[in-house]
Structure 1
Amino acid sequence: MKYLEGRKYVIQAIFIAIGAVYLIKLFYLQVLDDSYKTAAENNAMRRVVQYPFRGLVYDRDGKLLVENTPVYDLMVVPKEAKAIDTLKFCQLVGMTLPEYREKIKAAKAYSYVKSSPFLQRLTNAEFAAIQDNLVDFPGFYINARTVRGYPHKSLAHALGYIGEISPRQLEDSSYRGYRQGDYLGISGLERQYEQFLMGKRGVKYTMVNVRGIEKGSFKSGAYDTLSVAGNNLTTTIDLDLQAYGEKLMAGKTGSIVAIEPSTGEILSLVSAPYYDPSQLTGKELGNNYMKLLVDPVKPLFNRPLMATYPPGSIFKLAQALIALQEGVLTPETGYPCNWSLVKCSHRHPYPANLGIAIEQSCNPYFYQVFRSVVNKGRSQNIYQDTHQGLDIWRKHIQTFGFATKVGVDLPNEKKGMMPSAQFYDKIYGPKGWKFPTIYSISIGQGETGVTPLQMANFAAILANRGHYYTPHIVRSVGDKGKPLPEYLVKRYTSVEPRHFPAVVEGMQRVVESGTARYAQLKHINVVVCGKTGTVQNPHGKDHSVFIAFAPKDNPKIAIAVYVENAGGGAVAAAPMASLLIEKYLTDTIKTAPRKNWEDWIIKGGFYSID
């Protein structure tokens, strides 16, 4: 009993101690601490988000690609926005009464006591007109932030744009930490590198009176936190080359992708038609986006990463390399230009070896090369041979970056298409197809699809004689950053390096005496290795394609040019690529004949050729 009696006193003592703590705290708050008295007198403590400066973006030479420009948001706290002259307010901000009521309703739906954006992206002039009159409208205040600005008009598809976070994203746990009214990357680099660019928000607490006038910071800023700016990005882009590529592609549809073979750094990424990146920033972002979205030429479509085309004759180089690796072809192998197998675009003598066949782009030759790979004679069953041979071929082709995403650091990359035996089994049945069914693959037609990025990466593989680095557009994150480790890994194809010289020699012949003589750069003593392609188009004029690298030894640039509805690769894509190579290597176009080519291409002269 004495033990229980002792416990009773202990429990009573605990309750008395807790009560004493509350009484002391209450005395402190009501008598000694005057901050709450001040808050009561001033009516409200306002929590103002301090938005960080988003990271800047530079090109490879330190030229500014993306900057920050100031804008102002008019914020509202519905609980405080009472007894105001709504007509006068609407005249001040330039809106109708129904629009005012709709916005107030939306703000209340978000929160009755928390602030939310009422009008966003006010310009300096609009801010100045409103700021001096806000004293008459309690519950409204200005919050400064920045939007993206562009000191140039290039690279819109790669840079991307930022926009306000959507209600659906706010419900997604992967966007935890964002609030209504926040901006984030929607596309391009802005989206891919959002976690580095966004920075960290700060908060400032201020006291305001019943009229919304600030009366100073709460407790001298003791609870304020500073915003932290986002990391800057240094890209791999050469802005001058990018602008020149866009100049050449003006009024056309297609892509240009240029890569530095020794690093995988993307020098230029042109998608045409293109648009001025400043169209998707500021107050008119929504209207401009809808105009671009409904434009029939689809300027928002990122062709280098998302458009898939048959590769055409450039694919013959891959066919040759795989056949060399499989041991069914040597550099000295000759095949006749047999039109009974497949028609040839060029009238030429017997291709006595691989180099001549590449130079002349002989369709029957590569028909027979592909057949030798697919029907290698692994068994006595032609159907089984073809099935096994096609799948072996496909495994080789994937190591070149085809039929798979190459891993570029931009969103929405497509992997293209390369058929497998299973693919044809679904269409024709296991015994319903054999080599004559699929022969068009041999010349880069049929059921094949590659992106311009994959074409440029293929050119880089040829330049490197069998390996590549993952193409990427950001060199480093942060002002003292280093190349990202995932882009320093050398990736090899399944074809041994010893097989590449024969194909490279053929590419040199293409430019010096074959189908791409317009791509020569003898006047600057540079040997260009390339391959043209003319891609059949059932909807109109053929597409023009050309891949190349230069110089032949120690290559500095690999490039793919794809111009839709421009005819043969030798007419449009090849001279365009040579101008870009010359521009990159020498910073200028040196001779009058070359400048004439430049003018002719800019004007789209090749469209008039039948």
Structure 2
Amino acid sequence: MRKVLLPSLIIIAACLLLLRIFYLQIIDDSLKLKSDNNAIKIKYDYPERGYIYDRNGKLLVANQPSYDIMVIPRDIKNIDTLEFCQLLNITKEDFLEKIAKAKVYSPRLPSVFLPQLNKMEFAAFQEKIRKFEGFYFQKRSLRDYQVNFGANIFGFITQVNEKLIAKNPYYNSGDLIGKQGVEESYEEVLRGIKGVKYFQKDKFNREIGSFKEGKYDTIAVQGEDINLTIDAELQKYGEELMINKRGGIVAIEPKTGEILALVTAPSYDPAILVGRQRSKNYTLLYRDSIAKPLFDRSLLAEYAPGSPFKILTGLVGLQEGVINEQTTFMCHHGFSYAPGRFMKCHGFGPHQLHNGIALSCNAYFGNVYLRIIGKYASTPYAVDVWSNHVKSFGLGQFMGYDLPTGKKGKVPTSKTYKKMYPGWGYSGKTIVSNSIGQGEVVMTPIQLANMMATVANEGYYYTPHIIRKIKGEKIDPKFTKKHYTTIDKKYFAPMISGLFDVYNMGTASGLRVEGIDICGKTGTAENFAKIGGKRVQLEDHSIFVAFAPKDNPKIAIAVMIENGGYGATIAGPIASLMIEKYLRHKITRTDLEKRTLERSLQSRYAILGGLSDVVLKEMRIKDSIAKSKIIVPKVKIDTTKRN
């Protein structure tokens, strides 16, 4: 039996192998399509990308036709190179360089020779395409922007590189892919499905008909349309208010986590990154290392939060039981917490939670913080208790929103201070600047906005997101999941009351909008930079956070203006205007609007290092800027004294 078993297994295996080979070669000929078969030509039919709409159904991004000239190097025969180059307005050197590059990719497979011809260029070349064997047209679609704002939200379309082609078999040379913004996040939804057609060729390389009568052909399927959570009018207005300033604005609908506006400044018209000039314009934007128009400050810029962080200090103090609403601390334009140490403040007299928030008393919240740390006898555990409460608001971590870029910010822990201060006894007075958002805590504008949405919801938030609807699909369920903080709901009411009076009798009393109950908090964050090797204090950052209406909030917002000075000077007016624009679709505080639109901080930014060569060059050719739709990156400052 054993003597028969081994030969039997060998015979059975051989038979199975032969049957498989017979099936693949005789019955199933689909593998032929995957080989480099000389007798088969493959043509792709590229679908339109899905359209992009705002939350109200306004069309933001559509498509326009574009044509690539493709080349198969092996098929080039007896062409008039000079005539070819003249038709396409390229040099012979360009021609040879592009052909050499195509040969490196593959002598037999098509690759892009010249991308993104417009209709006129296509029409001129189409008449003579028959004279240039080895070349053909590939129709594609490029983005057609219906608006001149929102570049950081949309991202852009670019050609895939060889690394991506090797990694993802869907893409071929010359294919387009979304980069940055929703174009990248929702690439697989927006791109659609390519159609494929197979053609039989004769020995003279001429098409003689469909391969297998079109058995393997597929039709293109257009990409799915998407609706963003963005309110187009609010986004446009926010970008207008930020002209001649640097910073970010983020507005969120508290009850859903939907992002209503995501403004970064300076920005640019998304249309300049479409067509043959895309690469040139992108290089101009990329090289501007001063204004950094490609840097999304609303998601990537990390700042000390300043006084808005006092909201969390007060809530943690209430939760930990070290204060109540009646707890009183005295302020004498500051308070002494150790011999020879002093925290500056602009208040005076006794402060409790309500007026501590309304008047933004540093002394009050410094004392609250000392009590929080002191509750646990100045042990490492004390810092971590405070840190964990703060992190429950989504701080110090990636938030999980549906955009491809972001920063975690920073919330220090006991490990942070163990590295910073070896042998330190965890005394609260050493790190008390955390209490007013001037310590080691740093936040992005979207984290600040989410913090205010959480306060507006009295203790919970939804992961911020920018997708509202995908045609034929459901959005990720993680965006409908509530995230609860470690702070009991009952402690939010007194905090909200204080935030409401910031507008009524506090630091933002001049920013009220009649008929809208706004809760807000001013912020002024110290700002340091190294200039000439020295650490120099610069003009403070202007910060403002708010939500409205007080009851049943519809919008939460954070505004960060670099080097803008006091929070109520620039950031505050922008927040009030954005809130009224969203809730009423009109502006009654035209005085604030006029002042904000006219406010330029360019001179302050010039002081920080001067305008970049790119910006200076573009400013000298304003006419060409207007024609190419390039928006000059703006800079900022004025010499007005702080209010």
Which of 268, 293, 300 is the aligned partner of 2:294? 300
Between the aligned partners of 1:431 and 1:269, the Cα distance in structure 2 is: 41
Between the aligned partners of 2:109 and 2:349, the Cα distance in structure 1 is: 81
User: Runs of 5+ in structure 2 lacking a partner?
Assistant: 1-10, 27-36, 337-341, 530-537, 602-637
Which of 542, 545, 548 is the aligned partner of 2:543? 545
Contact 2:380–2:426 (CA<8 Å) still a contact in 1? no
Letter in 2 for 1:448: V
Contact 1:136–1:211 (CA<8 Å) still a contact in 2? no
Between the aligned partners of 2:295 and 2:158, the Cα distance in structure 1 is: 18
Contact 1:386–1:435 (CA<8 Å) still a contact in 2? no
TM-superposition CA deviations, 1:30-65 (whole Å, max 9, x none): xxxxxxxxxx9xx96531111121111110011112
Letter in 1 for 2:315: L
Structure 2 residue 425 is matched with structure 1 residue 454: no
Aligned residues: 565
TM-superposition CA deviations, 1:361-406 (whole Å, max 9, x none): 1111111001111111x35xxxxx2421111100110001110112
Give aligned-pair identity as a percent. Answer: 44
Between the aligned partners of 2:267 and 2:500, the Cα distance in structure 1 is: 33
Provide the residue aligned with 2:520 in structure 1.
Answer: 530
Between the aligned partners of 1:406 and 1:284, the Cα distance in structure 2 is: 35
Between the aligned partners of 2:591 and 2:200, the Cα distance in structure 1 is: 68
Between the aligned partners of 1:288 and 1:210, the Cα distance in structure 2 is: 46
Provide the residue aligned with 1:595 in structure 2.
Answer: 590
Contact 1:546–1:573 (CA<8 Å) still a contact in 2? yes
> Matched residue of 1:542: which SS?
strand
Between the aligned partners of 2:129 and 2:512, the Cα distance in structure 1 is: 67
Between the aligned partners of 1:324 and 1:226, the Cα distance in structure 2 is: 63
Aligned-pair CA distance for 1:177: 2.3
Which of 173, 177, 180 is the aligned partner of 1:180? 173
Contact 1:135–1:213 (CA<8 Å) still a contact in 2? no
Provide the residue aligned with 1:515 in structure 2.
Answer: 507
Aligned-pair CA distance for 1:199: 1.4
Q: TM-score w.r.t. structure 1 length?
A: 0.88
Provide the residue aligned with 1:346 in structure 2.
Answer: 346
TM-superposition CA deviations, 1:542-599 (whole Å, max 9, x none): 1111100000000111000111111100111111111111110110113xxx212211
Which of 570, 573, 582 is the aligned partner of 2:571? 573
Contact 1:266–1:473 (CA<8 Å) still a contact in 2? yes
> Matched residue of 1:184: which SS?
strand
Between the aligned partners of 1:151 and 1:212, the Cα distance in structure 2 is: 44
TM-superposition CA deviations, 1:287-333 (whole Å, max 9, x none): 11110011120000011111000000000000000110001110111
Aligned-pair CA distance for 1:258: 0.4
Contact 1:357–1:365 (CA<8 Å) still a contact in 2? yes
CA RMSD of aligned residues (A): 2.5
Which of 213, 217, 230 is the aligned partner of 1:224? 217
Aligned-pair CA distance for 1:340: 3.9
Provide the residue aligned with 1:609 in structure 2.
Answer: 640
Provide the residue aligned with 2:115 in structure 1.
Answer: 120
Provide the residue aligned with 2:438 in structure 1.
Answer: 445
Which of 321, 324, 329 is the aligned partner of 2:323? 329
Contact 2:369–2:428 (CA<8 Å) still a contact in 1? no
Aligned-pair CA distance for 1:222: 4.0
Between the aligned partners of 1:298 and 1:211, the Cα distance in structure 2 is: 55
Structure 2 residue 129 is matched with structure 1 residue 134: yes
Structure 2 residue 462 is matched with structure 1 residue 469: yes
Aligned-pair CA distance for 1:345: 4.0
Contact 1:138–1:211 (CA<8 Å) still a contact in 2? no
Contact 1:138–1:210 (CA<8 Å) still a contact in 2? no
1:7-26 pair list within 5 angstroms: none
Provide the residue aligned with 2:604 in structure 1.
Answer: none
Between the aligned partners of 2:241 and 2:405, the Cα distance in structure 1 is: 25
TM-superposition CA deviations, 1:184-220 (whole Å, max 9, x none): 1211111111121121111123467899987765565
Letter in 1 for 2:559: V
Contact 2:358–2:506 (CA<8 Å) still a contact in 1? yes
1:313-462 pair list within 5 angstroms: 313-338=307-332, 339-341=334-336, 342-351=342-351, 353-376=352-375, 378-379=376-377, 385-431=378-424, 434-462=427-455
Between the aligned partners of 2:385 and 2:302, the Cα distance in structure 1 is: 23
Between the aligned partners of 2:553 and 2:484, the Cα distance in structure 1 is: 17
Provide the residue aligned with 1:84 in structure 2.
Answer: 79
- Max Rg structure: 1
User: Runs of 5+ in structure 1 lacking a partner?
Assistant: 1-10, 27-39, 380-384
Provide the residue aligned with 2:557 in structure 1.
Answer: 559
> Matched residue of 2:568: which SS?
coil
Between the aligned partners of 1:395 and 1:145, the Cα distance in structure 2 is: 51
Q: Cα gap change, 1:209/1:276 in structure 2, threshold over 3 Å: closer, same or farther?
A: farther
Letter in 2 for 1:110: Y
Provide the residue aligned with 2:140 in structure 1.
Answer: 145
TM-superposition CA deviations, 1:242-276 (whole Å, max 9, x none): 00000000111011100001100000000001111
TM-superposition CA deviations, 1:129-171 (whole Å, max 9, x none): 1011011111111010011121001111111112111122233
Provide the residue aligned with 1:34 in structure 2.
Answer: none
Provide the residue aligned with 1:196 in structure 2.
Answer: 189
> Matched residue of 1:60: which SS?
coil
> Matched residue of 1:72: which SS?
strand
> Matched residue of 2:116: which SS?
strand
Moved more, 307-316 or 214-223: 214-223
Contact 2:88–2:125 (CA<8 Å) still a contact in 1? yes
Aligned-pair CA distance for 1:436: 2.1
Q: Cα gap change, 1:92/1:213 in structure 2, threshold over 3 Å: closer, same or farther?
A: farther
Contact 2:54–2:231 (CA<8 Å) still a contact in 1? yes
Between the aligned partners of 1:605 and 1:575, the Cα distance in structure 2 is: 14
Provide the residue aligned with 1:382 in structure 2.
Answer: none
Between the aligned partners of 1:251 and 1:212, the Cα distance in structure 2 is: 60
Query: Greater strand percent: which structure?
Result: 2
Aligned-pair CA distance for 1:532: 0.4
Q: TM-score w.r.t. structure 2 length?
A: 0.84
TM-superposition CA deviations, 1:73-101 (whole Å, max 9, x none): 10111111021111111111111111111
Between the aligned partners of 2:511 and 2:329, the Cα distance in structure 1 is: 27
